[in-house]
Chains A and B, each alone.
Chain A
Amino acid sequence: MDRRDFLRTCGAIFAGGVVLAAGGMLTTKTKGEEGDVFWQIDPFACTQCGRCETDCVLPVSAVKCFHANKVCGYCDLCGGYYRPSVKDLNTAAENQMCPTGAIQRKFVEEPYFEYTIDESLCNGCGKCVKGCTSFGNGSLFLQVLQDLCQQCNECQIARVCPSNAIQRVSYKDAYKLKDHA
């Protein structure tokens, strides 16, 4: 092995090691374990101010809408799905509250509909949560999706949250789910 090959091999090993170490750290972090801490939203303190959408350091916020199926009323006239004073109760874009169409609904049986959230589309704006909370029974709520969260030392959303709803929580409280309350 000449000097050039030797250096190339060492460089490759180092780079590979860095990639593996970083991957390993991320994997560990995502899975979590006792002793780890996470940023999470208290859904009962959240006021749906809209800062979660705009202040997260990620291009698309790590905050997503969650749906507690056990809490849901399965209403046709859903305050989280439909815009205020909606004209027609159908799935046309102009009737929907969600600006990205992240809430899908399916007919179950008269007069019930099941609602699901497409996390890849949700931007954490909280408009649906506000609608559901103010008229319905609050089955929609915001949570930090831990798979996406960078776990910044100082969460940018927590800094601006007007109700101090975002706090560091332990591993067992990594999610504050309404249907597990």
Chain B
Amino acid sequence: MTSKKIKWITVGVAAFYMALLLGWHLYDPSSSFKEAVPGADNRPQGKTRKADEVLIGEFFMKDSTNAPQSQLTGEWPCFRGPNHDNQAISAQPMKWVDGDYSVLWSVETGEGHAAPVISAGKVYVLDYDERMSADALRCLDLESGKQLWRRWYRVPMKRNHGFSRTIPAISDGLVVTIGPEGHVMCCDKETGDMKWSIDMKKRFETEIPFWYTGQCPLIDNGVLVLAPAGKDTLMIGVDVKTGNTLWGTPNSVAFKMSHSSVIPMDLGGTRTYTYIGVGGVCGVSAEPESQGKLLWSADKWQPSVVAPSPLQISNNQIFLVAGYGAGGALLQVDKQGGAWNATIKESYKAQEGMSSEQQTPINYKGSLITILPKDGGGMRERLAIYQPSDLHKPVWTSAADERFGLGPYLVVDDRLFAFKEDGELYVYALDNMAMKLLKKQRIMEEGIDGWGPMAYADGILIVRDSKTIKAVRVASL
């Protein structure tokens, strides 16, 4: 081969590789890529969703179309049950289950403490779905735990001892919820159809408490009573069927929203909505001729954080408790002539008498039952009974190893069920002055923060910890 030929071959090969190198550099492999940018879904202009925009009750999904119609009729329709006293009294003698209780079903939830209500064989709970950052009202079958439907709406928020808090209220075929950020939603309790909604934060400039809204809705004779405790409005009454506001109480006392709930009471013959806000305690008339009128208020006892609700202990006395060192107080409300007078008769620190951090005590036949708070001295976290005549010395306390943390308790006939916050259920036989431990059973292995109140109907007790709801058969029908 001639040197000239070799030279041309070398030049050719070099040129070939140069062209390859050049092509490799010039070729853009991503030229066919399409950027995923906002607006590719053809959403009409002006309907762009802002990150924090909440459309209450926006989404609905039916999960089961062939669930059998339940024959159960039991009701636990709201916070503290049908009589707002955390007690279920059966018409027939109870057929208690002997031996271990069976767990009928278990349902996972978002982290939180929202507790369910029960109505005609269905369970309703306002859960928080962490994945979708959404409040979700879930309707479950009481006997199987099968989810029947859900209605939800997006509310991005940060975890703060979980998310969910409150207990729905059921009345007039409707279910009403209050979300952790103060979103009120009303749905048909059978179909889940959306009826109406109120955003308390937007409408009343409510300042949502640090650990989110703990207020449970109260429906009283077709009127939904809310305490937004906002800039101008302390309390409102809403027609539960239409969502129309019937009356409003000006916030002349400048209370802010607490974690406590409105409780109806009969004080001196006057039906009253009693509420502990941040700033004090107040009573608003529930009487038809003066509905919404602020009757009385007291600001001598105003803990910065209040979770328990007021407890009526006599015709004119209300027992107040709060945690974080606040202790307890006795409020007396008297009507003299046309004027009301609300006086704090006594108040004391947690270690000095009856108190509670989170749960509202029970008035059982005139005796007061509580779980003492963690700052309750040597008796901290124990179950205790007090007589209204002496709020400082308990007439009975549970044993030293029977401590319940912030767990809930309720009464069914003559038994008290106390749920230890780690998932163990204690059952006591009740007497006015004492209790006798009948049994204890672990319901949740390694339960965490079982603080949500329990619900009971049709022989089934529903308990929850921070991530699970379980139904336990405690009596047969």
Contacts and interface: CB of A to CB of B under 8 A. Distances in A.
Interface of A: 73, 75-77, 79, 82, 84-93, 96, 101, 104-107, 110-111, 113, 131, 134-137
Interface in B137-159: 154, 156
A167 to B, nearest CB: 26
B461 to A, nearest CB: 28
A88 B38 contact: yes
B51 A87 contact: yes
Please classify the interface of chain B as helix (H, G, I), strand (E, B), loop, or mixed, using the class held by over half of its residues: loop
21 contacts: A73-B59, A75-B61, A79-B132, A84-B131, A85-B130, A85-B133, A88-B51, A89-B51, A90-B38, A90-B41, A90-B48, A92-B36, A92-B37, A93-B37, A96-B36, A104-B40, A106-B41, A111-B59, A131-B131, A135-B131, A137-B61
Given A73-B59, A84-B131, A88-B50, 15 more contacts: A77-B58, A77-B134, A77-B154, A86-B133, A89-B154, A90-B38, A90-B39, A90-B43, A90-B48, A90-B49, A93-B35, A96-B36, A131-B131, A134-B131, A135-B132
A136 B131 contact: no
Given A75-B59, A91-B38, A107 B129 contact: no
Contacts of A105: 41
B95 interface: no
A91 B43 CA distance: 10
Give the size range of B's interface with the partner.
20 to 34
Contacts of B132: 77, 79, 82, 84, 135
B61 A91 contact: no
B368 to A, nearest CB: 43
**10 closest cross-chain pairs (CB), A and B:** A93-B36, A90-B38, A91-B40, A89-B49, A84-B131, A107-B42, A105-B41, A107-B43, A92-B38, A91-B41
B193 interface: no
**A interface majority secondary structure:** loop
Contacts of A75: 59, 61
A1 B60 CA distance: 79
Contacts of A87: 51, 156
A77 B136 CA distance: 13
A93 B129 CA distance: 23
A107 B38 contact: no
Contacts of B40: 91, 104
B47 A110 contact: yes
A88 B154 CA distance: 11
B44 interface: yes
Contacts of A135: 129, 131-132
B429 to A, nearest CB: 43
Contacts of B37: 91-93
Interface string B54-83: 010011110100000000000000000000
A110 to B, nearest CB: 7
A106 B59 contact: no
From B40, B51, B132, B156, residue with most partner A Cβ within 10 Å: B132
Contacts of B133: 85-86
Contacts of A84: 130-132
Contacts of A101: 34, 36
Contacts of A82: 132
Given A89-B49, A91-B38, A107 B156 contact: no
Contacts of B58: 76-77, 111
B131 A107 contact: no
A91 B38 CA distance: 5
Interface string B381-413: 000000000000000000000000000000000
A113 B41 contact: yes
A91 B129 contact: no
